[in-house]
């Protein structure tokens, strides 16, 4: 695991996130009516908070709040609509839970309002290439920014070299905005701008992504890479997701973004011991 640019643990409210010593699980909280897996279930503050509390109890260290679906064919959401979805929930989560909160958005204004409402991390599915001002928000407010690989078309000349070039552009945008190295995190963007074959290739290049020297988040939960390989619907993709998580840990990934927190936390804890990231203590 090469974290040449990673200089210190991330800390929220006195809680330390040390990527050297544990794989962090991020629980997904979609507050949208149209997400591919759980759309419409948690877009009311009360139900969102209940679900977030369960994910934290099950071991999630970060709750990722998203107000606009990014699934293929999703309907775009306006600024005010997205703000009305996420801000009340972030405010409620920050009041009722002692947990790190990330905002899943590519809009600079949503990111800034969310951080001011109590979120701690920006998770941008366009890697600061859609709205570069989002990197300025991260720099000014002193928070980490997750830069995900994404593109509008599934056309590549040399797949990994093209992906790396795109991510290097995202990293440069963040650096130019003043984001320090230890606040730059990467995401391979499984399921975004990629065919099923590209997604498999991306998984096979995870160690190369880790070698870029930044903490890496892997998001494969219930996605089409699992559904197509195993020929299973969304509701039956847990085992396949666990396999991708285990593989990702073996390749050096540091965070896992998932729906099924309890099961994946168990998977992660077992893998962390087997890979010597954590030491087993006799009970």
Question: Is 175 a residue of the active site?
Answer: no
Largest CA distance in the chain: 53
For the question of residue 223 being annotated catalytic, the response is yes
Enclosing H/E stretch for 204:
helix 196-204
User: DSSP character for 238?
Assistant: H
Active-site choice (194, 222, 223, 277): 223
Alpha-carbon distance 133 to 137, whole Å?
7
Q: How far is CA 225 from CA 65, 81, 147, 157, in A?
A: 23, 30, 21, 21
Q: Are 60 and 25 in contact (CB under 8 A)?
A: yes
**Other beta carbons within 10 Å of 194:** 23
Name the catalytic one among 61, 129, 194, 257.
257
What positions carry a catalytic annotation? Answer: 223, 257
């Amino acid at each position: 695991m090469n974290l040449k640019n990673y200089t210190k643990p991330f800390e929220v409210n006195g809680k330390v996130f040390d990527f050297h010593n544990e794989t962090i699980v991020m629980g997904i909280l979609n507050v949208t009516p149209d997400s591919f897996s759980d759309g419409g279930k948690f877009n009311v503050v009360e139900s969102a908070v209940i679900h977030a509390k369960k994910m934290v109890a099950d071991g999630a260290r970060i709750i990722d709040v998203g107000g606009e679906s990014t699934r293929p064919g999703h309907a775009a959401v306006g600024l005010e609509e997205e703000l009305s979805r996420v801000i009340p929930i972030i405010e409620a989560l920050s009041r009722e839970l002692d947990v790190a909160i990330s905002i899943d958005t590519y809009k600079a204004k949503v990111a800034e309002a969310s951080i001011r409402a109590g979120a701690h991390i920006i998770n941008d599915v366009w890697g600061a290439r859609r709205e570069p001002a989002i990197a300025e928000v991260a720099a000014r407010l002193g928070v980490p920014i997750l830069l995900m690989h994404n593109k509008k078309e599934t056309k590549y000349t040399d797949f990994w070299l093209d992906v790396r070039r795109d991510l290097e552009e995202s990293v440069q945008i963040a650096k130019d905005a003043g984001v320090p190295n230890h606040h730059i995190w990467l995401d391979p963007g499984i399921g975004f701008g990629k065919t099923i074959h590209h997604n498999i290739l991306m998984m096979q290049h995870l160690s190369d992504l880790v070698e870029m020297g930044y903490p890496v988040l892997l998001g494969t939960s219930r996605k089409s890479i699992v559904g197509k390989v195993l020929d299973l619907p969304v509701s039956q993709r847990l085992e396949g997701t666990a396999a991708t998580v285990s593989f990702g840990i073996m390749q050096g990934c540091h965070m896992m973004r998932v729906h099924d927190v309890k099961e994946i936390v168990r998977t992660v804890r077992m893998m962390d011991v087997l890979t010597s990231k954590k030491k087993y203590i006799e009970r």
